Amino acid sequence: MDDFADALAGSLIGVDEDLEREFEARLSESSSLAFRVAFSVVRQRQDAEDVAQEAFAKAYRKFRQLRDRNRFRSWLVRMTWRLALNHQRSDRRRARRKTAHAHEPSTKTAAETPASRDRAAEIWSAIDALPDKLRVVIILAGIEGHDIREIAALLRLPEGTVKSRLFLARGRLREHLKWT
Amino acid sequence: MDLIDREIQRLLAVEPSPEFQARVRSRLAREPARDARRSRSLFLAAGAIAATIVAIVMLARSNSTLINQPQTLPQSSGQSLLEPTPAAASPDSAALARRSPLVHRRTKSPAVPKLSSRPVDHSSARRRATAPAAATVSAAASTDRAAEPEVLVSVGEAQALRRFLRNVGQGRVELSAAVLPPSPEDFSELVDVHPLVPITI
């Protein structure tokens, strides 16, 4: 019985090797996307990496169940988005991170000035004020210059819906930021 | 592309640290071992469940075979007392099995037993069991009823039932009153209603 189980498990591992190679390719091409989606929600580099890593681990566990492998990026984006929101809503963890990063120049670059930091904070605040449906659309439009068709494919929504949400999101941001 | 889009693109133009992918890979490397262990235990559990199901089915089938097999009943005096049929006269076990109530129940589909017209008194049955001649008479009478379970009725009850049916047939017993609903006068004559006396404690 044990031998039989070992043989079956061995053949499964053989199948798993192909899956692992495929997943490795997906990881290389989608790691930046997952990280940026997570970063757009949690705003901390370390937290964003943790969330993206968690999303990849979850995707890896369920990769076998994904029938259409071409939808991996869309699947990963939605998974990362949900995980990032859960992470953000966990007040206790966020408070712990805040104290840990209190004296750390987390996302600052050499070119950043106090004025640009204020402007960034203002934009993030306006983005946070958007409903989730509009927020994810405007974020994906800002990542890697995705167009409406690509955003629609990532979110598995009709292009018309994406277009109207993008229009609404931009309008609300302009209104919030008092930009013309 | 307007100013807002450019600003958002600038804000999101962040890259993960160089060791990010390595960290993810090391995290994933811990997953397959657990997966293989899980699949192995899954196969073992599935095998155990399948073996249990097969054992239950085999057990059920062997039980049903036992029930369908002819039952060899011991020729004791108790058996002949309860069933004074040819079984008592014939020692053939197959004949015994054919007349066994258990076998009849499985072969006959109707569940309602037919009332035997042959009244049986336990005391007389006991007497007949000792008399071989009576057993042979009983065997001849029961050959046509062998396929049905018998309901034993005492001699007194059977005689009373016959007498009652004969009287009804001859019009000596009036059953129409039993069919009609009772009138209130029937009860008023029988029951005296007294006013309640208040109870003081």
* Cβ atoms < 10 Å from Cβ of A104: 11
Same domain, A95 and A165: no
Cβ(A75)–Cβ(A66) under 8 Å? Answer: yes
Domain limits at A171? 108-180
Q: Do A60 and B40 touch (CB under 8 A)?
A: no
What's the ipTM? 0.74
Same domain, A2 and A37: yes
Of all residues in chain A, the one with the smallest CA distance to B19 is A49
Instruction: Examine the fold and report which residue of A103, A134, A166 is the final residue of a domain before the chain moves on.
Output: A103
Which residues does chain B have within 8 Å of residue A119's beta carbon, measured at their own beta carbons?
7
Q: Which of B9, B14, B27, B39 to mutate to test the interface with A (most CBs of A within 10 A)?
A: B14
Which residues does chain A have within 8 Å of residue B12's beta carbon, measured at their own beta carbons?
36, 39-40, 139, 142-143
Same domain, A55 and A135: no
Distance of CA A130 to the CA centre of its chain: 17
Same domain, A78 and A119: no
pLDDT bracket for residue B88 (50, 70, 90): very low
- Token pair recorded at residue A31: 């790691």
* Cβ atoms < 10 Å from Cβ of B103: 18
Q: Is the pLDDT of residue B136 over 60?
A: no
Q: Is the pLDDT of residue B130 over 90?
A: no
Look at the pTM and tell me if it is higher than 0.90: no
- Token pair recorded at residue B27: 């995290």
Q: Which of A11, A19, A45 to mutate to test the interface with B (most CBs of B within 10 A)?
A: A45
Output the 3-class SS for chain B: CCHHHHHHHHHCCCCCCCCHHHHHHHHHHHHHHHHHHHHHHHHHHHHHHHHHHHHHHHHHHHHHHHHHCCCCCCCCHHHHHHCCCHHHHCCCHHHHHHHCHHHHHHHCCCCCCCCCCCCCCHHHHHHHHHCHHHHHHHHHHHCCCCCCCCCCCCHHHHHHHHHHHHHHHCCCCCCHHHHCCCCHHHHHCCCCCCCCCCCCC
> Rounded mean pLDDT of A144-160?
91
Same domain, A57 and A134: no
Q: Is the pLDDT of residue B85 over 50?
A: no
Across the interface, which of A49, A61, A142 has its CB nearest the CB of B20? A49
Chain A, chain B: beta-carbon pairs less than 8 Å apart:
101
Can you give the pLDDT at residue A9?
Answer: 52
